[in-house]
């Protein structure tokens, strides 16, 4: 009896799936525009238009009344009216999923009902014994919405459908409009997965998720060549840095040694001015007036002969 009452209430509230019902599919974060087919194209005012939101058959929220946004509605900040009184919702989330009814001039028989379905895709650490990461794909809709078995499908980067016996992943059984994809620790780095909702063999909506793994590099996997190339490139860079440091150090030491050797050579080549002056003064002091006079007569022979004669004369005087 209770089930019958609920069914009758559902028919009275939303109708029994009339031809004016519209089903739309979007991803979280999208902007949605819902048309009100009850409004004539010649209508220039929305003062006779109301919009109602149904999360379920027991919860009804008047979001637009007489063409004005209801400021008390939880969705008020995201709502606006557009051409022909269409309803626009920005940055939608799972909380916005449900049924929206447009009513024109209180004519119930010509109401337009729009069913907004929102697909979300999220990642969490898996609680499964095999560990890894769990991707959860959910189709949010009106409370009584139902998803057929295998209507949510998973694809890999090559757009191939994932199977239960894959080595890297497996997914749990779909529960109504929720499907989990459990990814083990054998996952490759930065891989994209896609969840699709299929109705009557037609893809209605899909969402992608790129999973970046922080697992250690497995050199035994199929991607070993790429990993080896990456490691070799890192080794080349490190070797180049070490080589530059060594060459720079050798050049600095060489320049220091060369500079010290040049300074020592310059000091050896410079004559000792004090010693040469003492020798010359001694020679001059040992020469007498006669020697100076004789030197002038001989036309100025070399200094070496004068020194020799001066020394010889001094020796004779001493004898």
55 or 42: which leads in pLDDT: 55
Task: State whether 244 and 185 are in the same domain.
Answer: no
What sign results for the dihedral spanned by CA atoms 56, 59, 64, 69?
negative
Per-residue model confidence as pLDDT tens digits over 252-263:
988 888 876 666
In a domain, 309, yes or no: no
Per-residue pLDDT tens for 65-83? 999 999 999 999 999 999 8
Q: What is the pLDDT of residue 215?
A: 52
Local structure of residue 41 (DSSP, 8 states): T
Confidence band for 108, pLDDT divided at 50, 70 and 90: confident
Phi-psi region of 229 (alpha: psi -120 to 50; beta: other; left: phi over 0): alpha
CA distance 169 to 131: 11
Is the pLDDT at 301 greater than 50? The verdict is: no
pLDDT band at 246 (very low <50, low <70, confident <90, very high): very high
Q: Is 131 found in the same domain as 62? A: no
Running DSSP on this structure, what letter comes out for residue 83? G
Closest CA to 310 of 275, 294, 298: 294
| 112 lies in the same domain as 71 | yes
Work out the average pLDDT over 5-25: 57
Q: Could you tell me how many residues make up the chain? A: 319
pLDDT at residue 19 greater than cutoff 90: no
Give me the residues paired with residue 206 across strands: 196
pLDDT at 117 over 90: yes
> What is the model's pLDDT at position 227?
62
Please indicate, yes or no, whether residues 23 and 113 belong to a single structural domain of this protein. Answer: yes
Report which of residues 233 and 282 the model is more confident about: 233
Residue 166's pLDDT is 58
Return d(Cα 85, Cα 35) in angstroms, integer.
7
> What is the domain-level CATH number for residue 203?
2.60.40.10
**Phi and psi of 158, rounded to 5°?**
-85, 10
Average pLDDT over residues 209-223: 60
Query: How many other CB atoms sit within 10 Å of the CB of residue 49?
Result: 24
Given a contact cutoff of 8 angstroms between Cβ atoms, the answer to whether 39 and 50 are in contact is no
Q: Identify whether 307 is part of a domain.
A: no
**Can you give the pLDDT at residue 278?**
47
HEC per residue, 162-231 = CCCCCCCEEECCCECCEEEEEECCCCCCCEEEEEEEEECCEEEEEEEEEECCCCCCCCCCCCHHHHHHHH
Domain assignment present for 87: yes
Neighbouring residues of 125: CB distance < 8 A, sequence distance ≥ 6: 133, 134
Residues 87 and 100 in one domain: yes
Q: Write down the residue that tokens 């005012």 correspond to.
A: 45
Highest mean pLDDT among 102-106, 285-289, 301-305: 102-106
Most confident stretch, 85-94, 214-223, 227-236: 85-94
> Counting beta carbons within 10 angstroms of the beta carbon of residue 135, is it exposed (0 to 12), middle (13 to 18) or buried (19 or more)?
buried
Number of domains, the chain: 3
Nearest by Cα to 186 from 141, 131, 251, 139: 131
- Please, what is the average pLDDT of the chain? 76
Domain boundary among 92, 117, 142: 117
User: Does 137 lie in the same domain as 54?
Assistant: no
Give the pLDDT score at 4. Answer: 32
Residue 291 lies in a domain: no
**Domain range for 226:** 220-263
Question: What mean pLDDT comes out for the span 166-191?
Answer: 74
């Amino acid at each position: 009896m209770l089930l019958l009452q609920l069914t009758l209430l559902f028919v009275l509230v939303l109708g029994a799936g009339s031809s004016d019902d519209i089903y739309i599919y979007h991803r979280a974060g999208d902007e949605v525009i819902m048309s009100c087919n009850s409004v004539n194209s010649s209508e220039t005012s929305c003062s006779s238009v109301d919009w109602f939101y149904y999360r379920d058959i027991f919860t009804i929220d008047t979001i637009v009344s007489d063409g004005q946004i209801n400021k008390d509605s939880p969705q008020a900040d995201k709502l606006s009216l557009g051409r022909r009184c269409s309803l626009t919702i920005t940055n939608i989330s799972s909380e916005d999923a449900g049924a929206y009814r447009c009513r024109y001039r209180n004519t119930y028989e010509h109401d337009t009902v729009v069913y907004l379905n929102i697909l979300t895709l999220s990642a969490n650490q898996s609680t499964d014994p095999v560990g890894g990461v769990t991707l959860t794909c959910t189709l949010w809709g009106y409370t009584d919405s139902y998803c057929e078995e295998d209507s949510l499908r998973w694809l890999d980067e090559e757009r191939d459908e994932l199977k239960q016996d894959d080595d890297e992943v497996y997914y749990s059984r779909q529960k109504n409009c929720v499907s989990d994809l459990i990814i083990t620790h054998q996952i490759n780095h930065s891989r994209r997965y896609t969840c699709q909702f299929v109705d009557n063999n037609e893809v209605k909506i899909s969402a992608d998720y790129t999973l970046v793994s922080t697992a250690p590099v497995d050199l035994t996997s199929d991607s070993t060549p790429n990993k080896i190339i990456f490691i070799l490139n890192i080794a080349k860079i490190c070797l180049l840095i070490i080589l530059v440091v060594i060459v720079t150090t050798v050049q600095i030491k060489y320049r220091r040694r060369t500079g010290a050797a040049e300074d020592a050579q310059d000091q050896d080549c410079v004559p000792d001015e004090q010693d040469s002056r003492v020798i010359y003064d001694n020679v001059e002091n040992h020469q007498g007036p006669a020697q100076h006079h004789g030197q002038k007569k001989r036309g100025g022979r070399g200094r070496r002969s004068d020194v020799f004669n001066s020394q010889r004369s001094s020796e004779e005087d001493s004898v």
